């Protein structure tokens, strides 16, 4: 699975003008299931992100995790993370998992993140979404698992 983790002060996702998910201080996670990904990949990614030390400690250093801070996560499916731009000007997405597999792994990933103790809200798999965020720092971390 591929992901982009952005530390945020706030984030929300809208579908057709209606907010379907939001979080306060924490992370916005864009996530994509790739061909060959399994439940174990989703579990490992959730564990890694929950423990990723990207929040400031008392000394101002990035030394605290979502679990340490009680931060929340907004998880948004984004198959375009699978983009292959090695040929021509139009990206290819054939490395992304099939939609049924992608949806299942997306749901499994969010459940695993909740199981880690993180408050999670989501977008809607496969929907045309508008994502709004205030990137804190800015801190943006790509993670593949």
* Residues taking part in catalysis: 78-80
Separation between Cα atoms, residue 86 and residue 5, nearest integer Å:
24
Provide the token pair at 126: 């496969």
Q: Please spell the DSSP secondary structure of 114-133, one letter per residue.
A: HHTT-EEEE--TT---EEEE
Nearest residue to 122 (alpha-carbon basis) of 21, 30, 32, 40: 21
């Amino acid at each position: 699975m591929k992901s982009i983790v952005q530390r945020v002060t706030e984030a929300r996702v809208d579908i057709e003008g209606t907010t379907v998910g939001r979080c306060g201080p924490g992370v916005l996670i864009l996530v994509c299931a790739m061909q060959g990904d399994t439940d174990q990949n989703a579990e490992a990614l959730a564990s890694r992100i929950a423990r990723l030390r990207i929040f400031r400690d008392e000394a101002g250093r990035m030394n605290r995790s979502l679990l340490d801070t009680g931060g929340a996560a907004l998880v948004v499916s984004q198959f375009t993370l699978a983009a292959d731009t090695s040929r021509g000007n139009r990206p290819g997405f054939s490395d992304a998992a099939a939609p049924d597999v992608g949806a299942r792994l997306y749901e499994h990933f969010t459940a695993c993140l909740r199981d880690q103790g993180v408050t999670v809200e989501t977008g809607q798999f496969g929907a045309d979404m508008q994502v709004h965020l205030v990137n804190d720092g800015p801190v943006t971390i790509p993670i593949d698992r």
